[in-house]
């Protein structure tokens, strides 16, 4: 949970929106008294992407998933 004052919220609104979109609870307070909760609409939340880093993987060895010799005793 993140709590900010109204002044801080006006100054950092974009950052607070990003926090809310990522699932963080954002509370806006007046004189340390919580008055507003900033929440993202369910349809606006970021959807988790599977396989979003495929351009980052440049090479995978042929034996990548082969059993390791160090763990042969555990594999029996």
Residue whose token pair is 């507003």: 36
Domain count, the chain: 1
In a domain, 8, yes or no: yes
Q: pLDDT at position 48, please?
A: 65
CATH number, domain with residue 12: 3.40.1620.10
Q: What is the pTM of this model?
A: 0.58
| Domain boundaries, position 22 | 1-44
Q: pLDDT at position 49, please?
A: 65
In a domain, 63, yes or no: no
Residue whose token pair is 């390791």: 68
In a domain, 33, yes or no: yes
Q: pLDDT at position 54, please?
A: 67
In a domain, 72, yes or no: no
Q: pLDDT at position 15, please?
A: 96
Q: Which residues in the chain show pLDDT less than 50?
A: none
In a domain, 24, yes or no: yes
CB 5 within 8 A of CB 28: yes
Torsion of CA 30, 33, 35, 36, to 10 degrees: 90
CB 25 within 8 A of CB 2: yes
In a domain, 20, yes or no: yes
């Amino acid at each position: 949970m993140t709590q900010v004052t109204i002044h801080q919220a006006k100054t950092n609104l974009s950052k607070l929106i990003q926090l809310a979109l990522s699932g963080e609870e954002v509370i806006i307070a007046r004189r340390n008294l919580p008055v507003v909760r900033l929440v993202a609409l369910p349809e606006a939340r970021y959807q988790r992407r599977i396989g979003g880093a495929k351009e980052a993987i440049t090479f995978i060895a042929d034996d990548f998933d082969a059993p390791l010799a160090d763990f042969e005793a555990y594999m029996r």
